Amino acid sequence: MPKIPGLLLLVSLSACSSLPHVVAPAAQATGPAKPVYLVSHGWHTGIVVPAADVQAWLPRLRQRFAQAPYIEFGWGDKGFYQAREVTTGLSLRAMFWSSGSVIHAVAVPGSPGRYFSQSEVRRLCLDAAGHAALLAFVAGSFERNAEGEPIALNNGLYGDSQFYEGIGKYHVMNTCNKWTAKALQSAGLDLSATWMLTAGSVMRHDAVQRASVPTSPSGQDQACPS
């Protein structure tokens, strides 16, 4: 079998399963601007949204995270993300032979900036159309059972958290950070998720910088400006 040049391999992988797909904002959506939070844990990024908003799309999460004001979501490789001990073999399988994906959902009991005080947190205010599209993207990242409900797997990595079966497959060109970028692209931010594969590329993007609004040192963030 002939060798595939490195660039061609990357292009081939980027054209492989790219699920979940970016969601186009609904132009007719109206309402006040709403906050979401972008969190970087170093190598991995996630999205924090008001729990009630996403629970309207995923009612089963209302039962699982009944008291949480916010929920953080991240997407990643099914084997690597759930592993308690990371190995080289797991890393290689995630990049090139992933068996599937998972969603990590974490109850955030208060201000995301305070709860994730050891991580980089950016607060973004989204218009109604962008906020609805981001929620649709997150909800569409869950695999469903025959009843249309998310499929719970293992307990999560920290806090009150849960893994769920995800759609799509992780690979070197479809990373956890690209998932976050696709969520932001769905929200209407002026960026392309194609080459946003690292946490830094997401957090430092000009569109993210422009959309960021200050968080309160007290942890009690004000409502987004209308």
For the chain, give me the number of helices (H) and strands (E)? 10, 8
In a domain, 179, yes or no: yes
Residue 146 belongs to what domain range?
A: 31-212
Return the pLDDT at 68: 96
3-class state of residue 189 by DSSP: coil
Q: At CA 151, angle to CA 161 and CA 39, rounded to 5?
A: 40
Q: Is the peptide bond before 214 cis (omega within 30 degrees of 0)?
A: no
Strand partners, 171: 174
Per-residue pLDDT, averaged over 39-44, amounts to: 92
In a domain, 13, yes or no: no
Per-residue pLDDT, averaged over 199-216, amounts to: 91
Per-residue pLDDT, averaged over 142-148, amounts to: 95
In a domain, 221, yes or no: no
In a domain, 131, yes or no: yes
In a domain, 21, yes or no: no
Q: Which residue has the higher pLDDT, 88 or 225?
A: 225
How many structural domains are present in the chain? Answer: 1
221 pLDDT more than 80: no
In a domain, 37, yes or no: yes
Host H or E run for residue 3: none
What's the pTM? 0.86
How far is 146 from 121, CA to CA, in rounded Å?
37
In a domain, 78, yes or no: yes
In a domain, 8, yes or no: no
How does pLDDT run across 46-92, given as a tens digit for each residue?
999 999 999 999 999 999 999 999 999 999 888 767 766 555 554 54
How does pLDDT run across 84-119, given as a tens digit for each residue?
655 555 454 545 556 689 999 999 999 999 999 999
